[in-house]
DNA sequence: GCCTAGCATGTAACCGCTTACATAATCTCT
DNA sequence: AGAGATTATGTAAGCGGTTACATGCTAGGC
C-alpha cells in the first residue's frame, strides 16, 4: 500500500536471491519445485505485481504495439481496432492506441512518441502510404504493418481491401439488371474512394456501356449527396427509364436517397443506388442500402497477425494482402427483394 | 539503424556527461546556452529519441493512463475515448486502451496488467461500480475515475449522466402532449437503463397518471423491441387513441418502430416512441427518432480532467459529476414537427 | 574414494535514464 | 584579495528487473 513491493522484497521473504524469483516468474525450468511453490505463494499472498517497466528496460522488449488510426471515434476504425486487440491480447501484447485526425504531421509525431515508448511494432492506417512516418519507422528498424491502404513499396506489409474489385462488383450488379444509364460519384482523387470509382468505371466501359456513363468528382459527404440531386435532375440525368448510381461511400448514398425521396423519385424502380462500407444502419436505413462491405474485423486481425510474424522473424517476407470485398444487396437497388426486418416474426 | 542510440552516445559526442544531456532534454534551466544548443543539434542530427522506458523506471511515473471500456467497437465508448484522448494528449499522457467485453473477471485481469505496466492512473467504465477491479486499484494506490456509472462509495470520483433525469425528461414531454396511455420498456435491473425507467415511471406517477402506465422488463435489443409489438397488440396495449412508449435505449426503440410499421400502426399519430442514447442514425432512421442524448464526449473529457487532478494532488476531493441529459425531439413523437433533412436546399 | 556431470541457486553487471550531491569555475561584495 | 554565493557540470547511486557466469551440492561411474 505505502510502497510498491519489488522483487527483492519477495526474495528476502523467501530467503532466496532475486534471480531465483525472476526465474520463477518467467517460468524458467531450472528451479526446485519446493522453492517455486514457496515463492509463488508469497507472490500471491502479498499480491506482488512485477514491474513491466523494469522488465522492459532489461529485456529491451515492451510487448506493446502502437496503433495509429485516423479517427478513434469512427466505427470503421474501431471495428478494425477490435480485430487488432483480439490478436494482440491473445499474444500477450498491449495496445497503445492513438489517432491522427488525418493529419500527416500529427501522425509522424505520434509515431515518434510510440518509438520513444519503444513499442515492439506499429500498426497504422496511414494518411499517405509513403510518408515521414513510415520513413521514421524504417530508419529505427521498427516492424510495422499498414492497414486499409496499399503501398507500392515492395518491402512493406499491408492489409487492405481490393477497392477496384468493390467498384467492379457494384457495376456488375447494375449491368445484370437492365438499367439504361449509370452515374458514378467519386470522392477525392488518389484515395481508396477513387479506386472504387475506377473499378466501377472500368467494368461499365469494358461492357461497351461507356456512353451511358457519367462521372462526378468530389462528392464526399451526406450533404454533397443530398445537394447533387437537384442538379442531376436539372441536367436530365435522372429522367431515363432507370438509372444506377454508384457512390464511393454510404454517407453519399444516403444523402442521394434522401434527395431522391424529397423529389419524389421512386427507388429503386426509377433510380438504383449502391453505396460502399456498410456503415451501421445502412441495413436499417429508411431505404435499406445496397452496399459493398469490407471485412474490417479480419483486416485488423490479419494485420496484427502479420505484425506478430514480423516481430518474431525480422526477415519474414512482407505480406501484401488485398481482401475481397462483398456486395450486399438490399432495397435501394433494383435486383433486391422486398425488405423484411432481420428477425421478422413468421 | 543497427543499434539504438542512447543518451551516453550523445553525451560522448558532445563531450559532456549524461547528466547534462538529461538536463537539456528535460528542460532543466541550469545549463549553459551554448552547451544546450550543441547537444540539441546532435540530438536532431542523429535523430536520437530518448527511451521513455528507462525514464519511466527512473522517475517511477509513466505518463500513461489505462483506459478500460466495455466494448471497444461500440460507438458510445469510442466517443467517450475520444474525449479522453483529447485531454490526455494535451497533458502529455498516452493511453493504454483495452476492453473488457462486460466481463468482470476479464476487467480485473486487465486492471492487473495495467498495474504491472505501472500506469499513472486508470479510467474505466466498470461492469459493476464496486468490484475486484476498484478494490485492486485502491489497494495499489492508483488513482482512478469511473465513467458512465455512479458509485455510492464517497471516495471514488465518477462522471456519469443523470439517467433518472433522462427518463423524467421523456415523461415530461409525453405528459405535455395528450397521450392516453404510457408504456415503459425497461432493461436489466440495477443498471443505467433501469434508472432511466425509474425516472420515467416516477414522473408519470407523480402526475397522477400511474393508472395509465404499464411497465415491461428485460427488453434490451432491437429484436426484443420488434418482437414485443405483436404481444402488445394482443394485450390491447396499443389500441388506445394515443400511446407513448419509452424505451431505455435506441435499439429497442427502433425495433418497436419497425414492428409498428410492419403492423401498419401510424407513428406518431397513434403511437409515440422515445428512445435513449441518440446512436448514429437515430436522426436519419426511417422514422427519425426522438431520444435522450448524453454528452459522451464531455464525459470522457471531464473524467480525464478529473484523473489529471487526482494524479497531481493525491488528496484532491473526489468529483462526483452527473451530467444533465438532453431531449432531442424528432418525428417519432407526437410533439415533433415534420422532418426535414439537416441541410435541405431551401 | 575421486572425478565429472548436472541441477539449483547466488552474484553482479547491465538495461538507459534521473537526480542528489560533489566539484569546479565564475562572480559579487566587503 | 578572500569569503561566500551562484552557476555549470560531473559522479555515481539508484530505479526493478534479467541473465551470463560462478559456485556449491548431489549423484553416478569407474
Domain positions in chain A are 7-50, 63-162+296-324, 163-294
Instruction: Count H helices and E strands in chain B, helices first.
Output: 12, 12
Bond into B268 cis (ω within 30): yes
> Measured between CB atoms, does A286 come within 8 Å of chain B?
yes
The residues with which A70 forms a beta bridge, in sequence order, are: none
What pLDDT score was predicted for residue B283? 84
Looking at chain A, list the stretches that DSSP marks H as alpha helix, in order from N- to C-terminal side: 7-14, 18-25, 33-46, 52-59, 75-90, 104-116, 132-140, 163-176, 192-206, 222-234, 250-262, 296-312
What pLDDT score was predicted for residue B284? 79
Min distance B206 CA to chain A CA atoms (Å):
37
Low-confidence ranges of chain A (pLDDT < 50): 1, 336-346
Q: How many CA atoms lie within 13 A of A33 on its CB side?
A: 0
List the one residue out of B289, B229, B279 whose CA is nearest residue B253.
B289
Min distance B57 CA to chain A CA atoms (Å):
6
- CA A10 to C1' D16, in angstroms, rounded, equals 12
Q: Assess contact for B299 and B240: CB atoms under 8 A.
A: no
CATH number of B63-161+296-324: 3.40.50.2300
Bond into A268 cis (ω within 30): yes
Percentage of residues of chain B with pLDDT beyond 90? 72
What pLDDT score was predicted for residue B74? 83
Residues with CB under 7 A from strand C: A 15-20, 23, 29-32, 34-35, 54, 57-58, 60; B 4-8, 18-19, 22-23, 25-26, 50-51, 53-55, 57-59
Task: Tell me the C-alpha distance between B133 and B226, whole Å.
Answer: 36
Determine whether domain A63-162+296-324 maps to CATH 3.40.50.620. Answer: no
> Measured between CB atoms, does A102 come within 8 Å of chain B?
no
What pLDDT score was predicted for residue A74? 83
Closest residue, chain B, to A59 (C-alpha): B53
B239 — alpha (psi -120 to 50), left (phi > 0) or beta?
alpha
Closest residue, chain B, to A256 (C-alpha): B341
What pLDDT score was predicted for residue A2? 55
| Distant-in-sequence, close-in-space partners of B264: CB < 8 Å, separation ≥ 6 | none
Q: Assess contact for A197 and A226: CB atoms under 8 A.
A: no
Domain A7-50 class, CATH top level: mainly alpha
Task: Tell me the C-alpha distance between B268 and B204, whole Å.
Answer: 19
Is the Cα torsion angle A95, A96, A97, A99 positive or negative in sign? negative
Is the Cα torsion angle B191, B80, A64, B114 positive or negative in sign? negative
- CA A13 to C1' C7, in angstroms, rounded, equals 23
Q: Which residues of A14-24 are buried (b: 16+ CB within 10 A; e: fewer)?
A: bebeeebbbbb
What pLDDT score was predicted for residue A283? 84
Complete DSSP assignment for A201-267: HHHHHHTT-GGGEEEE----SHHHHHHHHHHHHHTTSS-SS-EEEEESSHHHHHHHHHHHHHTT--T
What pLDDT score was predicted for residue A49? 96
User: Cα angle at B251 between B246 and B255, to 5 degrees?
Assistant: 80
Topology match between the domains A63-162+296-324 and A163-294:
yes
What pLDDT score was predicted for residue A240? 67
| Distant-in-sequence, close-in-space partners of A15: CB < 8 Å, separation ≥ 6 | none
Low-confidence ranges of chain B (pLDDT < 70): 1-2, 240, 335-346
The topology under which CATH files domain B163-294 is Rossmann fold (3.40.50)
Amino acid at each position: 500500500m505505502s510502497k510498491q513491493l519489488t522483487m527483492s522484497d519477495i526474495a528476502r521473504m523467501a530467503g532466496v536471491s532475486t534471480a531465483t524469483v525472476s526465474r520463477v516468474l518467467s517460468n524458467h525450468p531450472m528451479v526446485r519445485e519446493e522453492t517455486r511453490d514457496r515463492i509463488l505463494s508469497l507472490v500471491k499472498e502479498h499480491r506482488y505485481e512485477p514491474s513491466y517497466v523494469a522488465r522492459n528496460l532489461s529485456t529491451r522488449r515492451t510487448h506493446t504495439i502502437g496503433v495509429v488510426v485516423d479517427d478513434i471515434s469512427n466505427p470503421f476504425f474501431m471495428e478494425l481496432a477490435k480485430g487488432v486487440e483480439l490478436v494482440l491480447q491473445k499474444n500477450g501484447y498491449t495496445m497503445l492506441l492513438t489517432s491522427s485526425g488525418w493529419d500527416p504531421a500529427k501522425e509522424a509525431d505520434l509515431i515518434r512518441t510510440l518509438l520513444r515508448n519503444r513499442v515492439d511494432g506499429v500498426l497504422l492506417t496511414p494518411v499517405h502510404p509513403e510518408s515521414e512516418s513510415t520513413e521514421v519507422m524504417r530508419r529505427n528498424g521498427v516492424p510495422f504493418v499498414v492497414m486499409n491502404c496499399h503501398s507500392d513499396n515492395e518491402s512493406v506489409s499491408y492489409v487492405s481491401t481490393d477497392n477496384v474489385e468493390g467498384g467492379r462488383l457494384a457495376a456488375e450488379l447494375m449491368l445484370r439488371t437492365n438499367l439504361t444509364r449509370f452515374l458514378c460519384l467519386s470522392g477525392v482523387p488518389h484515395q481508396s474512394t477513387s479506386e472504387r470509382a475506377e473499378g466501377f468505371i472500368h467494368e461499365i466501359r469494358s461492357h461497351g456501356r461507356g456512353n451511358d456513363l457519367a462521372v462526378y468528382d468530389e462528392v464526399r459527404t451526406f450533404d454533397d449527396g443530398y445537394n447533387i440531386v437537384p442538379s442531376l435532375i436539372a441536367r436530365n440525368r435522372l429522367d431515363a427509364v432507370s438509372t444506377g448510381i454508384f457512390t464511393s461511400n454510404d454517407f453519399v448514398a444516403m444523402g442521394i436517397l434522401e434527395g431522391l425521396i424529397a423529389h419524389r423519385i421512386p427507388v429503386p424502380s426509377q433510380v438504383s443506388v449502391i453505396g460502399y462500407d456498410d456503415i451501421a444502419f445502412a441495413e436499417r436505413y429508411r431505404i435499406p442500402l445496397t452496399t459493398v462491405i469490407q471485412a474490417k474485423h479480419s483486416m485488423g486481425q490479419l494485420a496484427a497477425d502479420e505484425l506478430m510474424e514480423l516481430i518474431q522473424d525480422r526477415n519474414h517476407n512482407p505480406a501484401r494482402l488485398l481482401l475481397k470485398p462483398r456486395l450486399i444487396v438490399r432495397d435501394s437497388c433494383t435486383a433486391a427483394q422486398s425488405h423484411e426486418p432481420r428477425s421478422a416474426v413468421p
